[in-house]
Amino acid sequence: MAMILGLDIGGANTKAASSDGTLAQSIYLPLWQGAPLGEALQSWAELDPEAVAVVMTGELADCFPSKLAGAQSLISEVKKAFSCPISFWGTEGFRWADPRDLAGANWSASATFLCREMGDGIFADMGSTTTDLIPIAGRPLAGKTDYQRLARGELVYTGMLRTTLVSLLPAATIRGESIPLSAELFAIAADAYLALGDISEDGYSCATPDGRGRSRKEALSRLARSVCSDLEEIGEEAALAIAAQAREHQLRRIVSALHRLSAKHGLAGVMAAGVGEMVVARAAALAGLSCRRLSQVYGREISNVLPAYAVARLLESQRESR
Amino acid sequence: MAMILGLDIGGANTKAASSDGTLAQSIYLPLWQGAPLGEALQSWAELDPEAVAVVMTGELADCFPSKLAGAQSLISEVKKAFSCPISFWGTEGFRWADPRDLAGANWSASATFLCREMGDGIFADMGSTTTDLIPIAGRPLAGKTDYQRLARGELVYTGMLRTTLVSLLPAATIRGESIPLSAELFAIAADAYLALGDISEDGYSCATPDGRGRSRKEALSRLARSVCSDLEEIGEEAALAIAAQAREHQLRRIVSALHRLSAKHGLAGVMAAGVGEMVVARAAALAGLSCRRLSQVYGREISNVLPAYAVARLLESQRESR
């Protein structure tokens, strides 16, 4: 059966979804390490889609000398893989002039789709690496570039998995003492969430910082190393304290971003999506906002790859309206 | 001519110095990436030293499952390379029972040596990755483990080169707006110091985050990427503002660590060493403390590899006193 395929090409993960919701897939493909994006695109091309809709954020990966070069490279990779019609979504929709208009625009597809489907609110998509917080009031109101969105608190550079621990938690409190964390890439958010039981080993879908496994013991060891220690040296309780405090700091950061946007735009409802949907829902409750979890509307798999699904749905509508 | 060789095996850099001061060398050997430490040790073995004295911090690198395993591995690498007598320095000196006593003890060799040579003060050694701040009052008074030293402010995990920008500066102020930095490894302290003219391309002796070059333009581009931007997007002035603010934040962090230790131990003088000696000297002035720059006592080359030199001198004294 003919289908519309949506793709969301990120720096760390590339996601695919079909407009009918039967396909929803996320593959860890770290572009800055030269991951085989072409092969993944090829495998989706073999599903023989009728048309492909694409959003991207991967142009920011530092394997590309500039965002323009990154966007051009990703456009060309997609064109190489698919023979069907391809539409790229930028911050102004499917019509764009400069490849830079496509840079970091995946949130825009999700927000445009949700604005139509669900109306006003703060769309909050917490992924492996970043959290998009997009005010929607009649239309998506976010800044057009990543830089503008950082400044406005609409792009919070913190995620469920890849975020380095020291950027979540500059110092941990252990047995009454404040211990500044090492600035090395010794542990990440995924280690904290796995140790706390919030995600499974399967949910730890990015590379581990030390190349070792995803067991609870290995995650706890990485947490201990973040304060320059072995696990035996500080003990499991202390490693768990680091994890709990990192989770708490991240939560508070999202609460305060929600507060700021809710006050600015007079919005009282949140639409939560992404692998960190649960964290967003907790943050919304703490911020005194109502929350709809998009996994309960579209299913968990779609919530995790929402921009890919949204851009497929947007293309489908456009084709139907012609 | 017979010589005593001192080695300081770090996670990122391994340093060598002879007790007569004629050799002083630092090589970028990132152990967690499997750098060829054995080859470097072999090349120093060809200098045919009479004896070798070793300190280490590299056991913390996450290629090792634990500090014990790391220390054992480094001991065995050194023993493989040298046929002359080898002495390892731990926090209690050349006598040690457990390889863990050697972990992170390079500061202890420097401080023991300086205590004898120069008397009381705060020994402050700012390297590529970390800054050791060791109070000396009759003897070195620092905590024995990295964990204890983090807690006591005697190990500040910030350095001249490898420190990620976001851990120096969580948010930059650009044209009146506060812009949180990306939590990616897009730029490091070396980019800030190079852009500001504080270090040369040669002084940028670690790997660049994106694998590109060390030109001023390339460093500025990395600084721009730290706020998810191209250099053309935010402009050189904004990239320099990020660099200046990162430098300022790092300086203030060292000032406050010096304050804390100076007040606690009643010490009014600083002995500054390392590739960041200049930064320590600035911090000492801001903290109202006197400062002796060890490059002016022992020469710049020795100041940059002080633990290697110190441990060689300590071994030399021990041999002479027998």
A chain contacts of residue B228, beta-carbon cutoff 8 Å: 60, 104, 145-147, 150, 155, 157
Contact criterion met (CB < 8 Å) for B104 and A233: no
Contact criterion met (CB < 8 Å) for B65 and A157: no
A62, A104, A222: residue with CB nearest B186: A62
Gap from A285 CA to chain B (nearest CA, Å): 24
Mean pLDDT of chain A: 97
Tokens standing for residue B303 = 């100041």
pLDDT in tens, A172-190: 999 999 999 999 999 999 9
Gap from A167 CA to chain B (nearest CA, Å): 6
Beta strand residue intervals within A85-170, DSSP E: 86-88, 121-126, 131-137, 139-140, 155-156
**Closest CA relative to residue B88, chosen from B305, B307, B304:** B307
A chain contacts of residue B166, beta-carbon cutoff 8 Å: 167
B67, B221, B232: residue with CB nearest A230: B67
Q: Show which of residues 224-263 on chain A sit within 8 Å of chain B, judged by CB atoms.
A: 225, 227-230, 232-234
Q: Does A147 touch chain B (CB under 8 A)?
A: yes
Please report, in tens digits, the pLDDT of each residue of chain B (322 residues total): 579 999 999 999 999 999 999 999 999 999 999 999 999 999 999 999 999 999 999 999 999 999 999 999 999 999 999 999 999 999 999 999 999 999 999 999 999 999 999 999 999 999 999 999 999 999 999 999 999 999 999 999 999 999 999 999 999 999 999 999 999 999 999 999 999 999 999 999 999 999 999 999 999 999 999 999 999 999 999 999 999 999 999 999 999 999 999 999 999 999 999 999 999 999 999 999 999 999 999 999 999 999 999 999 999 999 998 7
Gap from A32 CA to chain B (nearest CA, Å): 8
- The DSSP letter of residue B161 is S
Neighbouring-strand partners of residue A18: A5
Q: Print the SS3 string covering B275-301.
A: CCHHHHHHHHHHCCCEEEEHHHHHCHH
pLDDT in tens, A89-110: 999 999 999 999 999 999 999 9
**ipTM of the prediction greater than 0.85, yes or no:** yes
Q: Does A69 touch chain B (CB under 8 A)?
A: no
H-run or E-run covering B309? helix B306-321
B chain contacts of residue A164, beta-carbon cutoff 8 Å: 164, 183
A chain contacts of residue B229, beta-carbon cutoff 8 Å: 145-147
**Closest CA relative to residue A160, chosen from A189, A131, A132, A186:** A189
pLDDT in tens, A250-260: 999 999 999 99
